[in-house]
Structure 1
Amino acid sequence: MNAILIYLLKVIAIQAVFYLIYTLIFHKSGRHSINRFYLIFTLAIGFLIPFMSIPKFQSYEPYLEVDKPIWYELSDLAEFSNTEAELIPVERINQSDFTTELIVAGISLISLLFLMKLIYSHFELIRLKRQSKEISKNGHRIYCSQIESPFSYFKSIFIPKSLLDSTSFDTIMEHELVHVKKLHSIDRVLMEVILSIFWFNPLLYLFRNRLIETHEFQADAEVIALQQDPIAYQEILFQQINAQKVISSANYFKLNTIKTRIKMMNKNQKLSKWHYLFILPLMVFLIFSFSSREGEEFVAPLKNDVSDVFDYVVNLSDSYTPSIFPLKDAEGVKLTASFGKRIHPILQVERMHEGIDLKTYKGNPVLATADGIVVEAGIINEISWGKIIRISHNGIFETVYAHLSDIEVKSGDKVKRGDIIGKAGTTGESTGPHLHYEVKELNKGFLNPVDFINDFDFKRYTSIEKKDIIKLGKPNQKLKVVIDPGHGGRDQGIVSSNLSESEIALMVANQVFENFKSSDEVEITLTRDKDELLSLKDRVSKSEGADLFISLHMELHEDEEEEMMTAIYNYQSEHSAASQYFGELLSKEFEEINRKFKVGYTEGNYVLKNAMSPAVLYNIGYFSNSESERYLNSEKGMKEIAQELSDAIMASKY
């Protein structure tokens, strides 16, 4: 509905500019034939300019490539969700907007009534012909009847019987013959059809009046040029001043323009034809102001037939607004990364995620979510995006579909909403089959695609709901937790200005051990309690029989301002739900003391992948941030981290 409203407002604005220029400059120019063309052309072009596209002829800027830093240990980390919720599509039962449909139906009904009235007026003329006396005079068919005013309709001329033998008959005939020869009835009928459909556009009524006026100016000028007696002609006009019209699309000898017509007859000087060249810069200005903005897109040319033009003109609907789920098979699909800020999976930098990620199986058909033109299709950036499709939707919206396994369209193809354009896959920088989907409004930027999916809702499962389902440990038994201080021995990990990663991780782990040393509810086991190096296999073996496995690490960050903590779990593990649940509990504990925290997932990492219990990799901070480094190296910081970790462990049991 928004697209229709924007289109109509553009049309009215364009036509208002053209009408204003006509009234100020060309109205009384004396160039009636040119003015007739101007009115018809500008009326039509006003409807078409919003469909025009201005391509930006330059190469596309590729999507940002991401190189993996050599220090990055979790090379197969996937994408982080910026919410605590797992979103699952649920089919929406009530999809229709009753109010919108009612408004559209009301407008359409009124348009239909106006069209029926126009058709009825045509049959009125047929009936009038049958009731009239047909005569032939000077080779023309004339219909004489009991009408009040003479008029013409295409090749038919209707004359009141009272005028048949009057002295003004020949003059009136000459006037009506001009209407017939100049095909003015075609202009009138087309104008009435347009006005019947777009009856709510106030500019159309003004255009109609000016067009009728121009027809009369043109007929008056030719009759005066033929008879060379303007005074006698004006007297005949005054004789018809009380006549009334009855048919809307007919050309009447007398309309409510007598005064203006007489002034035009007595105007001697005509405006130079060169003044009409002003239309060219005006056209350029309006096209650049109101045409579609394609940005960096390729604009497909129209075909050599009228089908494309017809499609553009009649398809004035919301078909260009993305509105459906982009995958054909929604069963089992999960939204694994939301729109908004998140931790970048490779750089570990908080960045804007400009779309959503929908986890699905490889080969799930991908659908165009609105009508449009394919502007990119192929491998644009193999490392980051793999196979990608980008579609422009009438220069208003743009959608992107990335990591595809197959592409079934090519650049320049026109697609309809619901058309299959490709298949979901795992090409590019992806660790599992999914679809990355973006929606962009060219005037506003990237928008949340979830807000545009009208045929599905997303049911949210929060941590509170999971708490009723997931409980770590066994009833009436101690919760067995294994804490794994990362690195050790000759592998010190990242070294700060004071302590190393392995030293801080061990101190935090020992503090958690001390917190539960006398507990009857939680039993803590450390994979190492001194500075020694263990193999990954030995570390993971300690998870057997455990209820929870926590691996402690620190990181560096390219952004020195970053001080985020993260908890990562393996989403392909049989323990993924419990692992994610604990990560969320950990996030909640630290957010309560105003520490930034994100929960993410991976399908790799040896420890998380091979753990025999729910497991998380907990990054407790960044040495690259000076404040975070001081916090991690301080006794207060290590005790606070250990305490919040202990609180999360206790919360997981209840």
Structure 2
Amino acid sequence: METLFIYIAKSSGLIGMFYIAYYFLLRKETFFTANRWFLLAGLFTSVILPWIVFTTIVWVEPAPTNFDWSKIPMRTVQEESFEINWYLVLAAAYIIGIVLFLVQFALDFYNLNSVLKGKTIHQQADHKFIDLKENIAPFSYFNTIVYNSSLYNESEMESILEHEKVHSEQYHTIDVLITRFFCILFWFNPFIWLYKKAILQNLEFIADSEAAKNISDKKAYQLTLLKITTHENCVVLTNHFYQSLIKKRIVMLNKNQSKKWNSWKYLLVLPALVAFVFLFQMEVIAKEKNVSPKTEQSASDGVDVYKITKNTTEAELKEKAEILSEKYDIKTTFSKVKRNSSNELIGLKIKLQKGKEIATEMEVNSSEPIKDFSIAISKNDNGTTNIGIVTEKNKMNNKLVEESKNIISNTPIDADAQIYIDGAKSDKAKMDELDPNEIATVNVIKNDEKKEIRIITKKFAKIGSENDIYINDKKVDQNELDQLDQDKIVTMDVNKDGKTIRIVTKNGTYNIQDKNLPAPPTPPSPPVLKMKTPTHPPLPKAPKAPKGDPINGDKKAWKEFEKKMEEFDKQMKKLEPQMEAFDNQMAEFDKQMEPFNKEMEAFDEKMKVYDKQMEEYISKIEKENKK
């Protein structure tokens, strides 16, 4: 919406610029035909030029970072606050204006058609003549010329017809309709109405000038102009003989022809157009130097970082998705892309996924340009892969939370790690039994004292996202709900509309009588993936390019860099057989996964049955609690 209003403002400014150039430089010249094309060119330039944008690339030094990217933080979602959209208000007013002027145009066209309909037409060469009885000023509409012969003598009729023939032969009606169309689109711009007046006036100058060449008595023609001023009943959408500025037309008829060298005035508009392009149609794109085509930045050993800024283009987002897919076999989806009038990102959703597992998600939606953030990927010593999204806000935290899912799940876990599933303390065996498709988030909290792995299932996460939660009559947020130890829950009541859930724990203030509750249904056991994913061959680390460019930079450093690149290429060449073997192993692994996928489908059907049993069980519990 903002882009549309900027376009309209630019077009309106160009219309004003062309009119001012005509008014001060050309309106007193007798280059009537040239002025006609100048004014029409101004209208079309005003709607075409704002669409043309010239881009220039400025290379800047990469932003320094001292952040330890090996720690992957939790996701951050920016919420857009409610505010009145003034663009919609202005758009509504603009559209209402267009509709009103379109209605007026339709009425004018209807009135014109009423005048022409059912009248006797006399065909002569390429012209059609209609002799009316009404007191209407003579006019032409395309090749039709309308007049009332009873109001004029033979000499006057000759002048009138010669004048209107010029309008018809030079298709001046098209100029009138084009001008009317622009008045409808730019009805709010005062310059367009002055522009319309200048075009119609110039068309009369053209017709007067050409008609006078074919009339022997120029004085009689001028007298005819004065006589027509008494007929003020004119038809809109036509080239009519009457004009209010008769005096100016007579002056132009008697004015000496302008000297040809005055044509240089038309060129004066070109510097103004060039200035417009440089001021408003030049887009500067900043790009960082020394960015490797594969890994944009290695923040620390074993960590690859892919930075996204407000100026990142769709092509660059696509390139990053292809790199992550090729290098890590991670499907990256960029959606809900929104930009402002400066083509800066203000909205974006990122989803990182491998197979059926979602590693992490992030969504930004704001009226302001997004803050810089990065996709960080690292590998642990035990072979697991961590993925996270790092924002500027996360960099200020001393204790960071890693919200990611280890892509390779069947790998060792530290013996001292404490595991929590939906807030309840658990162990490695129960964690292995979880269906990856039912996992919403996996939070790994790292500090010097201990390591905690907190897993939240989709069913448990849904509670916090769709309901108001109260623990011991205190309203809590999603984070507090995630940290709740389920072993301490005594009761959990859901109100009738299902919007509010109240939880009472063992240390709460409520006393509950023991009741003989039915045993909950037993969930089905998920299939266990016994196969081991093939290990990707270790890749050598690419050398880092020196600052500057090879010509003006440190030539010695660049020469050393070229040697390192040659060695790097040799190492990559040696890895080709291993990469081919890895691709074959992955193809075999995919075949072996087919039976497991079928088992997962059967497990999903069992889970549907289990969900229905759980609904019945919860319903029984609610009835018991209400007794």
TM score, norm. by length of structure 2: 0.50
Q: CA deviation at 1:183?
A: 0.6
Supply the AA of the counterpart residue of 1:202: P
Q: Residues 213 and 9 of structure 1: is their aligned pair in 2 closer, same or farther, counting only changes over 3 Å?
A: same
Q: What are the equivalent positions in structure 2 for 1:73-472 lying under 5 Å apart?
A: 76-79=70-73, 101=88, 104-136=91-123, 140-145=127-132, 146-163=134-151, 165-227=153-215, 229-271=217-259, 272-291=262-281, 293=283, 295=285, 374=315, 377-379=318-320, 396-399=342-345, 424-425=352-353, 432-435=359-362, 446-447=369-370
Equivalent pair of 2:139/2:146 in contact (CA under 8 Å): yes
Q: Residues 606 and 381 of structure 1: is their aligned pair in 2 closer, same or farther, counting only changes over 3 Å?
A: farther
Q: Residues 9 and 280 of structure 1: is their aligned pair in 2 closer, same or farther, counting only changes over 3 Å?
A: same
Q: Residues 130 and 96 of structure 1: is their aligned pair in 2 closer, same or farther, counting only changes over 3 Å?
A: farther
Supply the AA of the counterpart residue of 1:379: K
Q: Residues 395 and 293 of structure 1: is their aligned pair in 2 closer, same or farther, counting only changes over 3 Å?
A: farther
CA distances 1:23-70 after superposition (whole Å, capped 9, x unpaired)? 1101122111111111111122112322220111x47668658688xx
Equivalent pair of 1:150/1:253 in contact (CA under 8 Å): yes
CA distance in 1, matches of 2:29, 2:195: 17
Is residue 567 from structure 1 mapped to residue 494 from structure 2 by the alignment?
Answer: no
SS of 1:168 mapped into structure 2:
helix
Equivalent pair of 2:445/2:451 in contact (CA under 8 Å): no
| Aligned counterpart, 2:517 | none
Is residue 610 from structure 1 mapped to residue 451 from structure 2 by the alignment?
Answer: yes
CA distances 1:331-389 after superposition (whole Å, capped 9, x unpaired)? xxxxxxxxxxxxx9979xxxxx9879xxxxxxxxxxxx9xx975663039969999797
Equivalent pair of 1:157/1:176 in contact (CA under 8 Å): yes
Supply the AA of the counterpart residue of 1:610: K
Q: CA deviation at 1:172?
A: 0.8
Q: Share of identical aligned residues, percent?
A: 21
CA distances 1:221-258 after superposition (whole Å, capped 9, x unpaired)? 11122225432221111111122243221101121121
SS of 1:30 mapped into structure 2:
coil
SS of 2:130 mapped into structure 1:
strand
Q: Residues 392 and 398 of structure 1: is their aligned pair in 2 closer, same or farther, counting only changes over 3 Å?
A: farther
Supply the AA of the counterpart residue of 1:53: V
CA distance in 2, matches of 1:424, 1:612: 20
SS of 1:567 mapped into structure 2:
coil
Q: Residues 50 and 155 of structure 1: is their aligned pair in 2 closer, same or farther, counting only changes over 3 Å?
A: same
SS of 1:247 mapped into structure 2:
coil
Q: CA deviation at 1:189?
A: 1.1
CA distance in 2, matches of 1:195, 1:263: 28
Deviates more, 1:564-573 or 1:41-50: 564-573
Supply the AA of the counterpart residue of 1:215: L
CA distances 1:203-233 after superposition (whole Å, capped 9, x unpaired)? 1101100000110111111112222543222
CA distance in 2, matches of 1:203, 1:375: 42
Equivalent pair of 1:76/1:604 in contact (CA under 8 Å): no
SS of 1:295 mapped into structure 2:
strand
Task: Give the unaligned 5+ runs of structure 2.
Answer: 288-297, 302-306, 374-394, 405-417, 424-441, 456-506, 509-627
Q: CA deviation at 1:295?
A: 3.0
CA distances 1:609-643 after superposition (whole Å, capped 9, x unpaired)? 734899xxxxxxxxxxxxxxxxxxxxxxxxxxxxx
CA distance in 2, matches of 1:439, 1:124: 51
Equivalent pair of 2:347/2:363 in contact (CA under 8 Å): yes
| Aligned counterpart, 2:26 | 26
CA distance in 2, matches of 1:602, 1:60: 39
Equivalent pair of 1:49/1:290 in contact (CA under 8 Å): no
| Aligned counterpart, 2:377 | none
Q: CA deviation at 1:97?
A: 5.8
Q: What are the equivalent positions in structure 2 for 1:537-576 lying under 5 Å apart?
A: 566-569=398-401, 571=403
| Aligned counterpart, 1:516 | none
Q: Residues 612 and 285 of structure 1: is their aligned pair in 2 closer, same or farther, counting only changes over 3 Å?
A: closer
Q: Residues 203 and 222 of structure 1: is their aligned pair in 2 closer, same or farther, counting only changes over 3 Å?
A: same
SS of 2:154 mapped into structure 1:
coil
CA distance in 2, matches of 1:290, 1:229: 53
CA distances 1:419-466 after superposition (whole Å, capped 9, x unpaired)? xxxx5459xxxx95234759897xxxx45699xxxxxxxxxxxxxxxx
CA distance in 2, matches of 1:292, 1:198: 25
Equivalent pair of 2:58/2:285 in contact (CA under 8 Å): no
| Aligned counterpart, 2:428 | none
Q: Residues 241 and 221 of structure 1: is their aligned pair in 2 closer, same or farther, counting only changes over 3 Å?
A: same
CA distance in 2, matches of 1:237, 1:275: 31
| Aligned counterpart, 1:5 | 5
Equivalent pair of 1:403/1:434 in contact (CA under 8 Å): yes
| Aligned counterpart, 1:14 | 14
Equivalent pair of 1:403/1:424 in contact (CA under 8 Å): no
Q: CA deviation at 1:21?
A: 1.0
Supply the AA of the counterpart residue of 1:188: V
SS of 1:379 mapped into structure 2:
helix
CA distances 1:56-114 after superposition (whole Å, capped 9, x unpaired)? 1x47668658688xxx6xx6312478xxxx86979x9xx99687656534432332232
Q: Residues 78 and 218 of structure 1: is their aligned pair in 2 closer, same or farther, counting only changes over 3 Å?
A: same
Task: Give the unaligned 5+ runs of structure 1.
Answer: 298-343, 348-352, 357-368, 405-422, 451-562, 579-600, 615-652
Supply the AA of the counterpart residue of 1:3: T
Equivalent pair of 2:79/2:366 in contact (CA under 8 Å): no
SS of 1:249 mapped into structure 2:
coil
Q: CA deviation at 1:270?
A: 1.3
Equivalent pair of 1:399/1:440 in contact (CA under 8 Å): no
Aligned length in residues: 381
Equivalent pair of 1:401/1:435 in contact (CA under 8 Å): no
| Aligned counterpart, 1:338 | none
Q: Residues 37 and 376 of structure 1: is their aligned pair in 2 closer, same or farther, counting only changes over 3 Å?
A: farther
CA distance in 2, matches of 1:213, 1:182: 15
Structure with the largest fraction of helix:
2
Q: CA deviation at 1:260?
A: 1.5
| Aligned counterpart, 2:51 | 51
Supply the AA of the counterpart residue of 1:434: E
CA distance in 2, matches of 1:168, 1:191: 30
CA distance in 1, matches of 2:196, 2:142: 18
Equivalent pair of 1:144/1:158 in contact (CA under 8 Å): yes
CA distance in 2, matches of 1:51, 1:212: 28
Q: CA deviation at 1:148?
A: 2.7
Deviates more, 1:204-213 or 1:128-137: 128-137
SS of 2:248 mapped into structure 1:
helix
